[in-house]
Chain A
Amino acid sequence: MDILPILSTLRRHKLTSWLLILEIALTCAIVCNAVFLIGQRLQRMDMPSGVAEHELLQIQVADVTAPSNPYARMAEDVAVLRQVPGVISVASSNQVPFGTSSSNGNIRLDPAQPERTLFATTYFGENLVQTLGTRLVSGRDLKPDDFVDVETAMKGLGNGDSKSLPHVTLITRTLAERLWPGQNPLGRVIYLTPVVGLRVVGVVDSLVRPNAYDKAKAQYTMVVPIRMGANKDQSYLIRTRPEDRASVMAAVLVALKKADPQRGVTTKRSFDDVRRKFFQDDRAMAGMLVGVIAALLIVTALGIVGLASFWVAQRRRTIGVRRALGATRRDILNYFQTENFLLATIGIALGMLLAYGINLFLMLHYELPRLPAVYFPVGAISLWLIGQLAVLGPALRAAAVPPVVATRSV
């Protein structure tokens, strides 16, 4: 296909051609960035938790009057829950992965260092590793005699009595690698305060923090042997088989009600719900971006249809002459398709530059990473396709122009 005649024709329609190119360029730029944003959101929503999500339930209860001994109360509840048929394992915890509400601490590797090394989250609870299903990669799990009641620990903090403080901790592999790159973390000590030194006794494969907003710090997690006692902020985590979740949840609620008819259940949900809730904004944003991309491509396609129809109508006579001089229907069709391809290509080239510019702006204002090159072809291909699809109708109409038109005066 000879493109020189096409170029010379376009030169006579400069204004409309440039408008079309501009529209394609803007669309391409926005589509590239929007697809990139969707990719970012999907990637975030895919963040691993390190726990057996499809096998876990979370329950929180609130008492009418605070129990006189919250630790005994919690032990009773856990015993009641363990009795429920279908329950594989039960844990208590002050927080849950992706649960938003979190307890965190500044950790130091040397009690005297002025600045914190990093900000890690602290899980307090019994039987967590087994129930959550996170894998222990080295060392040992926490043992019952590692545990200290939170009030005892607080008193110990007050009077400096180290016997009433916890002494050991579990950490994630990511945290171990961050604190002591390439070294064995077992036996090393992390300081939560100058008097609370925790010896690392075990490393778990992965356990995400409740407030995992920053991917790089999502696995800065410690499990500390502190018993919190029953209160409204504590969660019971129940492991069961995925297919038993609904029936176990119902049975567990009945069992808790029987143990104390007075209290209310404030949270009852599966871990699938926890994850869904944590990432709901990302899902909504990704959905909205998909909608915007679709609407943009439709508007651009409509624009192409409109202008192409106009060009076809305007050149009816010329087309007739070409047909009379021996051009086939296929030649006419190719002519309009090639014309659109040329315009789209120029638009896409400009669009790439613009996409890069928009990305720079977004990087400056929204803490986004640089647009990877792989997103450029996405915008290019979608616009080439949309262009060809949109021009097909008008081009077919052009190809249907009979040669006899050339002989008629308009």
Chain B
Amino acid sequence: MFAYYLDLALRSLRRNKVLTTLMVLALALGIGATITTLTVLRLLSGDPLPQKSAQLFYPQLDPNEKDGYIAGQTEPAPTMTYVDAMNLLHAHRATRQVAMALSQAKVLPQQGGDHPFFSDAVMTTADFFAMFDAPFQYGNGWAAADDDSGAQLVVIAGFLNDKLFGGANSVGKTIRLNDRDFRIVGVLKPWAPQPRFYAQDLGGRSYGDGDAVFLPLRTARAVDMGPQDTECYAAVTDIKHLETAPCMWLGVWVELVDDAAVAGYKSFLSSYAQQQIAQGRFQRPETALLDLMGWLRDQQVVPDDVRLQAGLAFGFLLICVVNTVGLLLAKCLRRSQEIGVRRALGATRREIFTQFMVEAAIVGMAGGVLGLLFAELGLLGIRHQPAEYASLAHLDLGMFLFTFVVALGASLIAGILPAWRACVLAPAPQLKAA
């Protein structure tokens, strides 16, 4: 029976090629726009570490002055002072804990005559790699003891290893950063979580390439590497010694395995803030402990423009669906006589309804295929845009399949009204008119 409907539908669509083309084209445009923007939105609001994100938390404290503080409304500061970050780290209340800041490192290639270039650097502590599941190609991270000793060690990214050492195992070799020699202890495999969650509020990009070098925090500071972003809450007398200045420039992450650990850490943070108030260092008791995805939402990492574009695309799809309803309705009303004949010959309402729904579904599938083409074109356009996420905009298998879900859904919704109108037509007047 289905094959018969299919045959009928194809005949009917062929009979009026212009109208059919119009319907498919309009639907495809709407689907193309929707899939393009949804792909970008999904990419930008994705989970950077799906296997781990639920266990990663971002503690926040607030060393700001009392002025302007409204209990329960003022959010704690987005970054931390060195003193607080070290206190939290040394307390070892979580499974793992790490402090970090972003910086720039001047890399001098070994080959003489090459110009130095600046690379993105992360100043951090030993747990970084294990905590964020950063995979190693060669070697390992550094040990906790190296954090305190200020050893001149570095982990480099695969792409920097390719550039400087032709991809060979460079563990044990030295690299010249900011006019000092550092010993390479590890080389990462390609690693660039999107969004770059750990760069939020530290002055880094939200999307794009991974960082090139990872150095122990104390070592990096000893060679005068400064953070990309510093926020001071009191008059600064010595900006060079950020460790003691009343300035916030570090992000801290902790790994907590279960709800009990999270609750425990929350109460630890509150008591820490109270203790600092007692010591006169803090004036505000506010603390926060957001999980990774919560922190990204709090930071509104997805650009407004992208959300606006997705909304616009949905509006566009809605108009395309309304358009398809109108055209399908026109087509089906023109075929009143044919329907009358079929009904008179014994076709049930249900059969007429199915026949028209099959016709709508065919339009939808054709719209989906063409829409996929439009989406690829749209994503090509996005990749040529200047945005930092541009190079990431690709259609994956999920979105590929989702395109057909949207296409079929849109066309079936559009088909319901015309199909219903067709099946409730009384056969007798139609036959009489003929």
Kindly identify, within residues 399 to 422 of chain B, every residue whose CB is under 8 Å from any CB belonging to chain A. Answer: 417, 421
List the count of A-B residue pairs having beta carbons below 8 Å apart.
125
- A240, chain B: closest CB distance, angstroms: 26
If A281-B387, A299-B320, A302-B25 touch, whether A23 touches B326 (CB-CB below 8 Å) is yes
CB atoms of B235 and A15 under 8 A apart: no
A284 interface residue (CB < 8 Å to B): yes
Chain B neighbourhood of A23, CB < 8 A: 319, 322-323, 326
Docked Cα-Cα span, A138 to B211, in Å, equals: 48
Q: If A115-B68, A266-B118 touch, does A158 touch B326 (CB 8 Å cutoff)?
A: no
Chain A residues with CB under 8 Å of B166's CB are none
Segment 278-330 of B: residues with Cβ below 8 Å from A: 304-305, 308-309, 312-313, 315-316, 318-320, 322-323, 325-327, 329-330
A288 within 8 A of B: yes
Select B240's contact among A154, A195, A266, beta carbons within 8 Å: A154
Bound Cα distance from A313 to B330, whole angstroms? 10
Asked whether any CB of chain B lies closer than 8 Å to the CB of A19, the reply is yes
Q: Is the interface of A mostly helix, strand, loop or mixed?
A: helix
A4 in contact (CB, < 8 A): no
Q: Are A310's CB and B322's CB within 8 A?
A: no
Of B26-34, B53-61, B136-144, B184-192, the one with at least 4 CB within 8 A of chain A: B26-34
Q: Point out the residues of chain A lying under 8 angstroms from B118, CB to CB.
A: 62, 232, 266
Bound-state CA distance A19–B322 (Å) is 7
Which parts of B42-90 form the interface with A (CB within 8 Å)? 65, 67-68
- A114 at interface, CB cutoff 8 A: yes
Cβ B323 vs Cβ A303 within 8 A: yes
Q: Which residues of A contact B65 (CB under 8 A)?
A: 114
Which residue of chain A is the closest to B30 with respect to CB atoms? A299
* Chain A contact residue count (CB 8 A cutoff): 52
Contacts of B163 in A (CB 8 A): none
Complexed CA–CA distance, A263 and B115 (Å) = 7
- Please measure, in the bound complex, the distance between the C-alpha atom of A329 and the C-alpha atom of B77, giving whole angstroms: 75
Could you tell me which residues of chain B, from 358 to 400, have a CB within 8 Å of some CB in chain A? 385-387
The reply to whether B322 and A314 form a contact with Cβ atoms under 8 Å apart is no
CA distance A282 to B118 in the complex (A): 28
CB–CB B334/A15 < 8 A: no
Q: Which residues of B contact A305 (CB under 8 A)?
A: 22
Residue B257, interface by CB 8 Å:
no
- In the assembled complex, which residues on chain A have CB atoms less than 8 Å from the CB atom of B238? 154, 157-158
- A193 beta carbon closer than 8 Å to chain B: yes
Q: Given A66-B179, A306-B330, are A366 and B309 also a contact pair (CB < 8 Å)?
A: no
Per-residue contact bits, chain A 33-51, to B (CB 8 Å; 1 contact, 0 not): 0100100000000000000
Interface size class of B (residues with CB under 8 A): 35 or more
**Beta-carbon contact of B327 and A303 below 8 Å:** yes
Output the least CB separation between B120 and chain A (Å).
14
Q: Chain B's nearest CB lies how many Å from the CB of A314?
A: 7
Asked if A26 and B108 sit within 8 Å, CB to CB, the answer is no
> In the complex the two chains form, is B323's CB within 8 Å of A302's CB?
yes
Per a CB cutoff under 8 Å, which of A30, A34, A277, A285 touches B319? A30
Q: Give chain B nearest CB distance to A230 CB in angstroms.
A: 14
- Interface bits A207-250 vs B (CB < 8 Å: 1, else 0): 00000000000000000000000001000000000000000000
Interchain CB contact under 8 A, A295 and B29: yes
Selected contact of B326 from candidates A27, A288, A307, CB within 8 Å: A307
Which residues 15-70 of A have a CB within 8 angstroms of B?
15-16, 19-20, 22-23, 26-27, 30, 34, 37, 62, 64-66
| Nearest 9 pairs of A and B residues by beta carbon | A310-B330, A264-B115, A303-B323, A280-B386, A19-B326, A114-B67, A158-B237, A306-B327, A193-B235
Instruction: List residues of A whose CB falls within 8 A of some B CB.
Output: 15-16, 19-20, 22-23, 26-27, 30, 34, 37, 62, 64-66, 114-115, 154, 157-158, 193-195, 232, 263-264, 266, 277, 280-281, 284-285, 288-289, 292, 295-296, 298-300, 302-303, 305-307, 309-310, 313-314, 362, 366, 410
Known: A16-B333, A281-B387, A300-B323. 14 other contacts (CB 8 A): A23-B326, A62-B116, A195-B235, A263-B115, A264-B116, A264-B117, A281-B305, A284-B386, A292-B33, A292-B316, A299-B26, A299-B29, A310-B333, A362-B308
